[in-house]
Amino acid sequence: MLGKNITIKGIFIAILFITMGVSGVSLEIQNVDTDAGTLDIYMTNTAGCSACDDSTYNTQTLCEANGWNNGTGVWAFDATIDEATCESSDTNGDYSNGEVGGFQFELTNIDITGATGGSASAAGFTVSTVGINDNWDSQILAFSFTGAIIPNGSDLLLTQITFTSVVNTNICFGTVTNNNVISDAIGVSISTEWGDCYCVSASPADCAGVCGGAAIVDCAGVCGGGSVLSGCDNACNSTAVEDCAGVCGGSAVVDVCDICEGTITNADDCDMAISQIGSNLPEEFSISQNFPNPFNPVTSITFDVAEMGEVSLIVYDLTGKEVATLVSGTYTPGTYNVEWNAVNNAGGGIVSGMYIYRYISSEKVITRKMLYLK
């Protein structure tokens, strides 16, 4: 019998490693009964597309070695992508119909005596077991010489394992890559998600398969890693901060007069002081009549900001020519006061006469008049 097992294994490995592919296949250890010496292996196998987030690379190895951000390409499976889209130049992915034509996998810490039933037996697979070392680790091999396949299915019994002993605190899928292989109908290896360990004790296994262990998967997907959610965007290892306008990762900065996204570059122009007054939040955008009016040389204007956004307050002469920009930038809700010292945008004084000032927000434009008398 041992000779037969070796022959099956040799044929199986020779066919499996023709090439490599990826599909949505996952295996789980379930229904462990240590008294009866039985456990079930459940499998989900789904048709879909495996592709890189950088379509330049069409294999998982190339993607993860050369993809986005200098080798951090993501190779992911998507069951919603059809074959034509998957294999197009825009996606450049690897499509699998989800059918399984054979499998082999290692189970650690138990002495396996057989494997029967489930979808493997229903498909007519030849199933055998082999002890692979002195640590009670065993391997299950299954293959069809007639070309039969296991069709797509979700959380279906693949096979039931019988065993005699448990020699440690957990039962796990092995970690040796060549000992764990699922193939499709033509012998192409399918990348598989191997389920968690089963803990014989009451303590569950951590992400490293240690029963009662403390290792967890960090935000970067690394078991036991130290990456954390941080920054104002609460992203993995983020250093993003809010700018002065309250935008996470934004670039808005204050000008020399401490105005967020203001346009004043000369500190001398800060004589045109802008300050927030009052604690109530306005219900609408509005602006007061300047006071005093007429004025010489300084007048004050109060304006309300109902919601955060861009606002401006500009003075024009009666010909429509811009004289001075009193306010320009992003403001949070509140009531503000601006004082103007009758200086134009060039830094010079203005002549006596009537002027128009216009308050512009995202919701409305308000225009008023004021009189300057020397």
Which tens digits make up the pLDDT trace of 298-329?
Answer: 899 999 999 888 999 999 999 999 999 999 88
At 67, give phi and psi (nearest 5°): -70, -160
Amino acid at 224: G
The model's confidence at residue 14, banded by pLDDT at 50, 70 and 90, is very low
Check pLDDT > 70 for residue 242.
Answer: yes
How high is the pLDDT of residue 133? 59
66 — pLDDT class (breaks 50, 70, 90): confident
In the chain, domain spans: 2-47+97-195, 267-372
Burial class for 287, CB neighbours closer than 10 Å (0-12, 13-18, 19+): buried
**CB of 298 within 8 A of CB of 290?**
no
Q: Given pLDDT bands bounded at 50, 70 and 90, which one contains residue 132?
A: low
Written as one letter, the residue type at 273 is: A
pLDDT for the residue 5: 35
Per-residue pLDDT, 136: 61
> Do the domains at 2-47+97-195 and 267-372 have one common CATH topology?
yes
Exposed, middle or buried by CB within 10 Å (0-12, 13-18, 19+), for 349? exposed
pLDDT score recorded for residue 17:
32
The CATH code that applies to domain 2-47+97-195 is 2.60.40.680
pLDDT (0 to 100) of residue 208: 79
Q: List the CATH code of the domain at 267-372.
A: 2.60.40.2550
Burial class (CB in 10 A: 0-12, 13-18, 19+), 13: middle
Contacts of 35 (CB under 8 A, 6+ apart): none
Tell me which residue of 250, 147, 136 sits closest to 200, measured CA to CA. Answer: 136
pLDDT at 147: 87
Q: Rounded to whole angstroms, how far apart are CA atoms 76 and 85?
A: 15
Whether the CA torsion 143, 148, 154, 160 is positive or negative: it is negative
Lowest mean pLDDT among 127-141, 169-183, 222-236: 127-141
Residue 10 has pLDDT above 60, yes or no: no
C-alpha span between 104 and 192 (Å, rounded): 12
Residue with tokens 């309250």: 246
- Asked if residues 116 and 143 have their Cβ atoms less than 8 Å apart, the reply is no
Instruction: Of 13-27, 37-51, 165-179, give the range with the top mean pLDDT.
Output: 37-51
pLDDT of residue 246: 78
Cβ pair 140, 104 in contact under 8 A: yes
The string of pLDDT tens digits covering residues 275-306 is 778 667 888 999 999 999 999 888 999 999 99
Integer angstrom CA distances of residue 20 from 17, 184, 251, 286: 7, 10, 45, 67
pTM of the model: 0.53
pLDDT, tens only, 339-366? 888 888 887 889 999 999 999 998 899 9
pLDDT of residue 270: 56
Contacts 24+ apart (CB under 8 A), 172-175: 172/29, 172/107, 172/108, 172/109, 172/197, 172/198, 172/205, 172/209, 173/27, 173/29, 173/105, 173/106, 173/107, 173/108, 173/197, 174/105, 174/106, 174/107, 174/108, 174/137, 174/139
Residues in contact with 45: Cβ distance below 8 Å, sequence separation at least 6, in sequence order: 23, 24, 25, 98, 99, 100, 150, 152, 153, 182
Write out the two tokens for 177.
């890559």
| 211 neighbors 204 (Cβ within 8 angstroms) | yes
- pLDDT for the residue numbered 206: 82
CA dist list (Å): 252 to 140, 143, 178, 258: 61, 63, 54, 12
Give the pLDDT of residue 177. 67
